[in-house]
Amino acid sequence: MSIVNSIRSQMAPISPEGYPFIGIFALVSLVLFWLWTPLGWIGTVLTLWCVYFFRDPPRVTPVRDGLVVSPADGRVSLVQLALPPPELGLGAAPLPRVSIFMSVFDCHVNRSPLAGRVERIVYHKGKFLNADLDKASEDNERNALVIATATQRIAVVQIAGLVARRILCFVREGQMLAAGERFGMIRFGSRLDVYLPAGTAPLVAVGQTAIAGETVIADLRADQHAGDMARSYRSA
């Protein structure tokens, strides 16, 4: 019994949204075994991949106010100034944007970048282009959340990709979120964009691997402190 418990403690939990897919993959594998054994083994490998895809490992999120953590596992694909989607009401000026691309091998559970209230949720129909492309932010199907703190607002946008055909959002407008709290997921392969307040300096670089709920992508307090120092210097 202790061996079983030890094995379970080393395995990542499975997101409930994945159980129907895992069941379908497993059933198809059994049928393939009945038809031809080599096909059954291929189905078994795909079933194991499905289990791996829907993993939902626990994460340890930094707790200091002002830290913005990655909402997704994956590769930082873009760090640039960009116009936020107009439906978010964040203005017409470009904002710092960090884009994180999730491959089919990354964990796809999405987590809140910071603690705050879900001010707005907007779903936008669109295409299913490669999520790694810059124009995917404008053309692809997406679901956006505006999260407000006492002093600032940021947006996190779930973007469907070439393979992804389903964006899930677990929260509602007005709901309070803790930093690192699960708020949704995307099936299968996609991207998340985070729009930071004007003047925020991202702390990640293109090509860096991000971990949802753990990797710090910005420090809002540091930027506020820098602005206060600059104003103090000018007034002196």
pLDDT per position as a tens digit, 176-232? 999 999 999 987 668 899 999 999 999 999 999 999 999 999 999 875 554 443 443
Residue of 86, 89, 108, 117 whose CA lies nearest to 182: 108
> Can you tell me the distance from the alpha carbon of 55 to that of 13, in angstroms, rounded to the nearest whole number?
6
3-state secondary structure of 219: strand
Catalytic site residue from 29, 70, 112, 190: 190
Task: Check pLDDT > 60 for residue 77.
Answer: yes
Cβ atoms 180, 213 nearer than 8 A: yes
Average pLDDT of the residues of the chain:
85
pLDDT at res. 103 = 87
3-state secondary structure of 95: strand
> Can you tell me the distance from the alpha carbon of 53 to that of 48, in angstroms, rounded to the nearest whole number?
9
190 among known catalytic residues: yes
pLDDT at res. 81 = 96
Structure tokens at 197: 């307040």
